[in-house]
Amino acid sequence: MKTIIALAFALLITYSSAQAQDLKTSKSLKTALEQSSSSKKPILLIIEATGIPKAANMPGNAKINFKSALDEPEVINRINENFVVYKTVMTDTSIRSIIREANVKSFPAFVFLRTNKDIFFKDFGNSTDQRKYISMVDKALAALKEESISELETKYNADKDNNAVLKKLIDTRKKLGITNNAELIEKYVNNLKIGDFNDYQTVLYILEAGPYSDGNAYKLAYTNRKIIDSLYKTEPIQKRTGINNVIISNTISDAAKNKNTARAISAANFARNTWTRDYRNGEKAYNNQILWYYSTVKDTASYLRTASYFYDSYYMNISADSIKKIELKNREALTQRHVATMPYQKQISKEKLDSLQKVYGKTMVTQSVVTVGNVSNSYANELNNAAWKFYEIGTKNLNYLSKAMIWSRRAIELNPIAGYYDTLAHILYRLGYNEEAIKTQEMAIERAKTEKTPTASLESELKKIKAKAL
């Protein structure tokens, strides 16, 4: 009997030990927040990209020799001991505001939240070395001890003349990758003296915060042109590009939020000016910003008018052959960059890539693992998206629909894929060319079969076209 009890006890210990190796995860963000509140533990939000699952979870016939050290027992125990975990994917709508605020752009992402949802640390990336994750946990626990964003905001609101506290608040947000600090930097410059704008580091600090391009902070930072010229000559190109991008992003986003067309034009002009003497790309940058604004605020008339001019002048005044040559060159350069940085480059052979494509589909694997598009993909995709946008807006203006049809045909000429034929079929239907729309949608279905992509949606749309029920 003692032997049986001892054996049972040993099995129980073994079972418990095995169970301890699993990462304990909450079923939802709401549940994680509730558990965090009751346990007084912070939250670790693990955000995976959609698409191909991580290698460790792939079926046997995929055979990728990559296993994340996040699954190591020591890492799991450290995480379980210190955090409430919610594991999800980037498309989860409950975390949309967190992704936006934390400026998450790389996946898998690890975002650490206090019980009140304040972000206090973040990291990203897979690794086979468990030291990465142990270090991540240690850094997060250290960051947890520092003043939170909410605490600093409370301090500042109690003493709005205290630039030291405001600077610490901005620095804390910047450290976490939060780039929308335009409102805060406007308040910060209000407490500075005129002479402060002759200091290189002060000017750099203001610009790094991403001031509105038509705001007071930006104007004051530009009062000393010598400093500005020096800054844009001496700072690393990555930092200069980052400054410009944040200024554009903060300005256009605020413009859309408040339907401020003057601010949107300021953002677009700033984007254009970043290209200096490259007038063609400058005009493209300007129009991309202003079109995004019109689309976001639903100013349909301005969108259609501006888009018509932009796509005709930028995409249609160059031959298809010239576009193919340009994008072939771009594709070769892009492929070389990806080969140099691709995380699976040492693990994936051609045979393994073929195996992946059989399991998950060629398109998904190519986009997720290799991330290089087809020749002429950029121009074709831009034109297709513009054409579809015109259809989606619902315009019945024959002039606009005719332009959309021409753009759609050019997209197909550059890259004849199923989705582009589908766009053209819808536009032809809207124009009243029902028979041609049917034939074009049938071509979309045939293309999809050749591409080995799903056809159900295309076939459903074909039925609607035939029934004149779109």
Per residue in 265-283, pLDDT (tens digit) is 999 999 999 998 898 889 9
Residue 282 maps to a domain: yes
Arithmetic mean of pLDDT, 448-452: 94
Arithmetic mean of pLDDT, 447-463: 94
Report the phi/psi class of residue 109: left, alpha or beta, with left for phi > 0 and alpha for psi in -120 to 50: beta
Residue 336 maps to a domain: yes
What is the tens place of the pLDDT at every residue in 41-81? 999 999 998 754 433 334 444 444 557 889 899 999 999 99
Domain endpoint, select from 298, 328, 346: 298
Asked whether the predicted pLDDT for residue 4 surpasses 90, the reply is no
Asked whether the predicted pLDDT for residue 357 surpasses 80, the reply is no
pLDDT at 68: 84
Cβ proximity of 232 and 246 under 8 Å = no
In the sheet that holds 84-89, the strands lie side by side as: 84-89, 43-48, 109-113, 119-124
Residue 154 maps to a domain: no
Number of separate domains in the chain = 3
pLDDT at 439: 97
Structure tokens that stand for 27 in this block = 């079923």
pLDDT at 433: 96
CA distance linking residue 295 with residue 171, whole number of Å? 33
Q: Are residues 265 and 395 in the same domain?
A: no
Residue 303 maps to a domain: no
- The CATH number of residue 57's host domain is 3.40.30.10
The SS3 of residue 448 is: helix
Q: Are residues 138 and 247 in the same domain?
A: no
Residue 230: domain span: 179-298
Q: Are residues 105 and 194 in the same domain?
A: no
Residue 312 maps to a domain: no
Asked whether the predicted pLDDT for residue 112 surpasses 90, the reply is yes
Arithmetic mean of pLDDT, 26-41: 94
Q: Are residues 115 and 51 in the same domain?
A: yes
Q: What confidence category does residue 332 fall into, taking pLDDT thresholds of 50, 70 and 90?
A: low
Domain endpoint, select from 298, 333, 365: 298
Q: Are residues 330 and 276 in the same domain?
A: no
Asked whether the predicted pLDDT for residue 102 surpasses 90, the reply is no
Residue 308 maps to a domain: no
Q: Are residues 334 and 462 in the same domain?
A: yes
- The CATH number of residue 351's host domain is 1.25.40
The residue among 98, 126, 127 whose CA lies nearest residue 114 is: 98
pLDDT at 331: 65
Asked whether the predicted pLDDT for residue 122 surpasses 70, the reply is yes
Q: Are residues 334 and 288 in the same domain?
A: no
What HEC string does 216-258 produce? HHHHHHCCCHHHHHHHHHHCCHHHHHHHHHHHHHHHHHHHHHH
What is the tens place of the pLDDT at every residue in 81-97? 999 999 999 999 999 99
Q: Are residues 336 and 376 in the same domain?
A: yes
Q: Are residues 453 and 334 in the same domain?
A: yes
Q: Are residues 457 and 329 in the same domain?
A: yes
Q: Are residues 333 and 229 in the same domain?
A: no
What is the tens place of the pLDDT at every residue in 377-436? 688 899 999 999 999 999 999 999 999 999 999 999 999 999 999 999 999 999 999 999
CA distance linking residue 29 with residue 94, whole number of Å? 7
Residue 341 maps to a domain: yes
Least confident of 16-25, 58-67, 295-304, 400-409: 58-67
Residue 5 maps to a domain: no
pLDDT at 66: 55
- DSSP lists the bridge partners of residue 43 as 84, 113
What is the tens place of the pLDDT at every residue in 193-236? 999 999 999 999 999 999 999 999 999 999 999 999 999 999 99
Q: Are residues 243 and 207 in the same domain?
A: yes
